A and B are shown apart, each in its own frame.
Chain A
Amino acid sequence: MDSNDDIEDVSLFDADDDVSRRSKKSKIRSCDCPVLHSRHPVASFFHLFFRVSAIVVYLLCELLTSSFIACMVTIILLLSCDFWAVKNVTGRLMVGLRWWNQVDDDGRSHWVFEARKVSAQGGKTSSEAESRIFWLGLITCPMIWVIFAFSALFSFKVKWLAVVVMGVVLQGANLYGYIRCKVGSRKNLTSMATSYLGKQFLRQTMATEDQAAS
């Protein structure tokens, strides 16, 4: 999918955060109500709407209509809309992450993952609910589609396998992309893991030393 340079200027991972160029929707409000404050209710709604309705249609297709084709086309359309919405709109608005594929002039393609830097003025607390909704929807739905894949495989309902595989691939792609954005490059991931483990180890040794001393 194309990058979104012409819609909103989200700052790069290493660049400075330019407050004056933020879009109207992410202005920092001065109220103190932290958790329930959602700044993009429409985005949150649509983030969950397409995913959940695709799952619901898949589960209820036998009851809703006797036509396999109508169900399949509906699920495919919902999955595509969900993929586009989550990749291009809700990730950017709700958690400030985005990812895309860029092709150089010589034909090589590489994937770019970006995360918006958070300013120190408390912008984060007012979108905690959104962040939770975002990650909840992003993580649980691919897992549900994987469960559907196994159930279709083992109950030999092979005609549904095409739809289910499509669901797994599309939603898994978004999940993978956003996890890469959140964690940063691979180097950061391993260094983060080692620093975390190092801190835990240090804490353990301090605790045992204190116990031995007292």
Chain B
Amino acid sequence: MRDLKAVGKKFVHVMYPKKSSALLRDWDLWGPLVLCVSLALMLQGGSADSKDDGGPQFAEVFVIIWFGAVVITLNSKLLGGTISFFQSLCVLGYCVMPLTVAMLVCRLVLLAGAGTVSFIIRLIVVGAMFGWSTLASTAFLADSQPPNRKALVVYPIFLFYFVISWMILTFTPQ
């Protein structure tokens, strides 16, 4: 269907990030919603003081991702960016995809064991995906800013994906 094809095309764009206005023009938030829900599902039940149902963690991840994306968008708009609110949310949400893939890989690696080797593998994978996410979203978002403000826009995006990567890296199942 038309909407599904649009979502699929955006996922492919994130895999090979080059600046294209087609991605920015037709924003939609279905992809970010699916990614957010799957990431939150995979991250639940991993902290030391989790209760049986892992409830608050699911809501925490959800709120962190959406609230973080909104704050970054507000920041870039206040700095004078030419991108619209929902377009920015769309890009930030879709660029969470490499980190979701990293989470999947981490869970698979943790099935095999939780020693030092697995930690190093996870660190490399999460680090690579974090770099990919940041580069992909920067490729789309930094162009809409004047050149002397690019660092001011990239820094919150860096922090945002860093926090998500941290949550993924420190995940240990019960």
- Residues of A at under 8 Å CB distance from B? 1-2, 6, 66-69, 72-73, 76, 80, 84, 88, 101, 103, 106-109, 159, 161-163
For B28, what are the chain A residues with a Cβ–Cβ distance below 8 Å? 1-2
Nearest residue, chain A, Cβ from B45: A69
For the complex with contacts A6-B2, A108-B82, 11 further pairs of A-B residues with Cβ separation under 8 Å are: A1-B3, A69-B44, A69-B58, A76-B37, A80-B33, A84-B3, A101-B86, A103-B25, A103-B87, A107-B82, A107-B84
CA distance A1 to B86 in the complex (A): 10
B84 touches A159 (CB 8 A): no
The residue from B26, B56, B62, B86 contacting A2, defined by CB atoms under 8 A apart: B26
The secondary-structure label for the interface of chain B is helix
CA distance A76 to B63 in the complex (A): 13
The residue from B59, B85, B86 contacting A159, defined by CB atoms under 8 A apart: B59
Contact with A along B83-122 (1 / 0, CB 8 A): 1111100000000000000000000000000000000000
A72 touches B58 (CB 8 A): yes
B59 touches A73 (CB 8 A): no
For A68, what are the chain B residues with a Cβ–Cβ distance below 8 Å? 53-55, 58
For A109, what are the chain B residues with a Cβ–Cβ distance below 8 Å? 84-87
B59 touches A72 (CB 8 A): yes
A159 touches B82 (CB 8 A): no
Nearest residue, chain B, Cβ from A88: B3
Q: Is B47 an interface residue (CB 8 A)?
A: no
For A163, what are the chain B residues with a Cβ–Cβ distance below 8 Å? 59
For B26, what are the chain A residues with a Cβ–Cβ distance below 8 Å? 2, 103
Q: Categorize the interface residue count of chain B.
A: 20 to 34
The residue from A67, A76, A106, A159 contacting B56, defined by CB atoms under 8 A apart: A159
The residue from B24, B27, B53, B62 contacting A66, defined by CB atoms under 8 A apart: B53
The residue from A73, A80, A106, A162 contacting B41, defined by CB atoms under 8 A apart: A73
A69 touches B87 (CB 8 A): no
B84 touches A73 (CB 8 A): no
B41 touches A2 (CB 8 A): no
A80 touches B30 (CB 8 A): yes
A159 touches B2 (CB 8 A): no
CA distance A205 to B63 in the complex (A): 57
CA distance A163 to B66 in the complex (A): 13
For B55, what are the chain A residues with a Cβ–Cβ distance below 8 Å? 68-69, 72, 159
Q: Is B139 an interface residue (CB 8 A)?
A: no
A sample of 19 inter-chain contacts (CB < 8 A) reads: A1-B3, A1-B28, A2-B3, A68-B55, A68-B58, A69-B53, A69-B55, A73-B37, A76-B33, A80-B33, A88-B3, A103-B26, A103-B87, A107-B82, A108-B84, A109-B87, A159-B55, A159-B56, A163-B59
Known: A6-B2, A69-B44. A107 touches B37 (CB 8 A): no
For B54, what are the chain A residues with a Cβ–Cβ distance below 8 Å? 68-69
B84 touches A162 (CB 8 A): no
Nearest residue, chain B, Cβ from A72: B58
CA distance A213 to B84 in the complex (A): 63
A91 to chain B, nearest CB (A): 16
CA distance A106 to B54 in the complex (A): 45
Nearest residue, chain A, Cβ from B56: A159
For B172, what are the chain A residues with a Cβ–Cβ distance below 8 Å? none
B84 touches A103 (CB 8 A): yes
